[in-house]
Structure 1
Amino acid sequence: MEVVAVVRRGVVRRAVAAGSAALAVVLVAGAAGTAGAAGGGPEADVAYHGRVSLAAGRLGILLIPENQGPAALPTATLRLRLSAELADRQPLVEGCARAGLREVVCETGALPEHGHGRHIGLALRLKERPSEVTLRIDTWWNGGATDRNVHNNRHVVLALDTGDVYAF
């Protein structure tokens, strides 16, 4: 079973816990801020744009994190939740980790004021071949920044098993 730890500045780390029946999500001191949290942190407007496609049990995702300001963020962590279970073995790009049977979290990299984070490309294998998958995208951690417009960092995308690309 995989344990996901988010350490200082939202860096996603992966560890394996043998024999554990439940997923443990560990928030290390200093990383307990959540999206939209008020007080103390800078004000930033995190947004996500991208594309999703589903074909033959594979979900392709290209995601571009963006910060519309007014302050820069050193990093943030986004969460991808699927309506279908992921395959047991799941190769993921650096900075991403599995956070459950249907969840993946990824760090965005630095989010400059009015700029983009790193492009995140995922090719997720699903346990079965569903005719459709609903993908929910949101900010899991943003360093305690205040985000007054959370509507542009929360998306729900329905992808049909046609290979067509759906933009958000």
Structure 2
Amino acid sequence: MRRVAVRSVVLAGLLVLGGGLPAGAASAGPVPAGPFPAEAGPLPAEAGPEADVAYHGRVSLAHAQLRILLVPKNEGPSALPNATVRVRLSTALADRQELAPGCARAGLREVVCETGPLPLHGRGRHIGLALGLWEAAPEVVVRVDTWWNGGATDRNLENNEHVVLALDTGDSYAF
């Protein structure tokens, strides 16, 4: 069931970003049109909950293997039933990846993972990724952000958008 939810979010994102479904994909119905949260302006009364999603974690790179540990948090003021974190890389991923449950590939350099429930002032599930790179690289830039948050408003994007430079040393870089 979790993979279905992540695939639905991935397909919905592809519809919004790319204007269509990949070949052979079935539509789950129309995707509502509208501005992105940053462009939306003042919230209407019927808007979703407000939450402050944040990510903390570590990144390490060694021998074309990138390891990422993410811990999603919610500082409130409302709990969220689920959200989706996106991890984008500056280099291509290897064709075959064994991803953690609740995670899916969203492109040549992207992976998305559901966070699970984010209670008020609480943590979501720990997400561990071991990603193989297409080829060895001396460094990889890792970008972490929220891809989907269930329609919640997050007025503090500074703590859920991170850029980390990982050098091919095996050292761990915290964010």
Fold-level similarity (TM above 0.5):
yes
Q: Residue 29 and residue 49 in structure 1: after superposition, are their counterparts in 2 closer, same or farther (change >3 A)?
A: farther
**Residue 127 (str. 1) matches residue 121 (str. 2):** no
**Alignment partner, residue 83 of structure 1:** 90
Cα deviation, residue 29, structure 1? 5.3
Question: Following TM superposition, where does structure 1 have runs of at least 4 consecutive aligned residues deviating by more than 2 angstroms?
Answer: 22-39
Instruction: Please state whether the residue corresponding to 2:73 is helix, strand or coil.
Output: strand
Q: Separation in 1 of the partners of 2:100 and 2:57?
A: 16
Cα deviation, residue 62, structure 1? 0.3
Identity of aligned residues (%): 67
Is the 2:21–2:27 contact (alpha carbons within 8 Å) kept by the matching residues of 1?
no
Q: Please show how residues 76-115 of structure 1 align to structure 2 within 5 Å.
A: 76-115=83-122
RMSD: 2.7
Q: Residue 68 and residue 31 in structure 1: after superposition, are their counterparts in 2 closer, same or farther (change >3 A)?
A: farther
Cα deviation, residue 23, structure 1? 7.8
Cα deviation, residue 13, structure 1? 2.8
Partner of residue 66 from structure 2, selected from 34, 49, 59: 59
Q: Separation in 2 of the partners of 1:92 and 1:28?
A: 24
Is the 1:35–1:142 contact (alpha carbons within 8 Å) kept by the matching residues of 2?
no
**Alignment partner, residue 143 of structure 1:** 150
Q: Separation in 1 of the partners of 2:135 and 2:21?
A: 21
Deviation string for 1:138-157 (max 9, x for gaps)? 00000110101011000000
The one-letter amino acid paired with 1:86 is L
Q: Residue 50 and residue 35 in structure 1: after superposition, are their counterparts in 2 closer, same or farther (change >3 A)?
A: farther
Is the 1:108–1:118 contact (alpha carbons within 8 Å) kept by the matching residues of 2?
yes
Instruction: Please state whether the residue corresponding to 1:151 is helix, strand or coil.
Output: helix
Q: Residue 48 and residue 28 in structure 1: after superposition, are their counterparts in 2 closer, same or farther (change >3 A)?
A: farther
Cα deviation, residue 26, structure 1? 8.4
The structure that has the greater radius of gyration is 2
Q: TM-score, normalized by length of structure 2?
A: 0.79
The one-letter amino acid paired with 1:120 is I
Partner of residue 156 from structure 1, selected from 153, 163, 170: 163
Is the 1:95–1:106 contact (alpha carbons within 8 Å) kept by the matching residues of 2?
yes
